[in-house]
C-alpha cells in the first residue's frame, strides 16, 4: 500500500494518469496491467507480485480530480507513470 503522498491522480489532455513515486517494476507490458478504480481505493495490478494499493479518499477528501471517474471509464483504464517508465492499466472489475 502506498501512502497518499506517493500517488498523484491527474487528468492530462482529457486522459486519466496516476503518477506514482516508486521505481518502475521490471515488467512494463501494457497487456499485463489492470486497474480497479473505486471511490475509496484504487488497485493497480501487474504481473506476478507487482501491484499497488492506493488510498483515494484521504482526510483532506478525494485525491482524484473532478471528472476522474468519467475519464477512466472513457479511456478504459489509466496511464500509470513510475520513476523510469509507464504502462497503460486496463480497467478491471
How many H helices and E strands in the chain? Answer: 1, 9
More confident residue, 25 or 11: 11
Task: Compute the radius of gyration of the chain from its Cα atoms.
Answer: 12
The enclosing H or E element of 74 equals helix 68-75
The Cα 38–Cα 43 span in angstroms is 8
pTM of the model: 0.93
Domain span at 10 = 4-23+30-91
Set of cell numbers at residue 19: 503518477
**pLDDT category, 4, cuts 50, 70, 90?**
very high
How many domains in the chain?
A: 1
**pLDDT category, 22, cuts 50, 70, 90?**
very high
28-78 pLDDT per residue, tens: 888 899 999 999 999 999 998 899 999 999 999 999 999 999 999 999 999
Q: In what order do the strands lie in the sheet with 41-45?
A: 7-12, 15-23, 77-83, 85-91, 34-37, 41-45, 51-55
Give me the pLDDT at residue 93, please.
80
Amino acid at each position: 500500500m502506498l501512502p497518499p503522498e506517493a500517488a498523484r491522480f491527474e487528468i492530462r489532455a482529457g486522459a486519466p494518469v496516476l503518477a506514482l513515486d516508486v521505481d518502475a517494476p521490471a515488467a512494463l507490458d501494457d497487456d499485463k496491467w489492470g486497474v480497479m478504480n473505486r471511490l475509496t481505493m484504487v488497485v493497480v495490478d501487474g504481473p506476478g507480485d507487482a501491484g499497488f494499493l492506493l488510498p483515494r479518499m484521504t482526510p483532506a477528501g478525494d485525491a482524484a480530480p473532478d471528472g476522474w471517474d468519467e475519464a477512466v471509464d472513457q479511456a478504459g483504464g489509466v496511464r500509470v507513470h513510475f520513476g523510469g517508465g509507464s504502462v497503460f492499466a486496463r480497467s478491471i472489475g
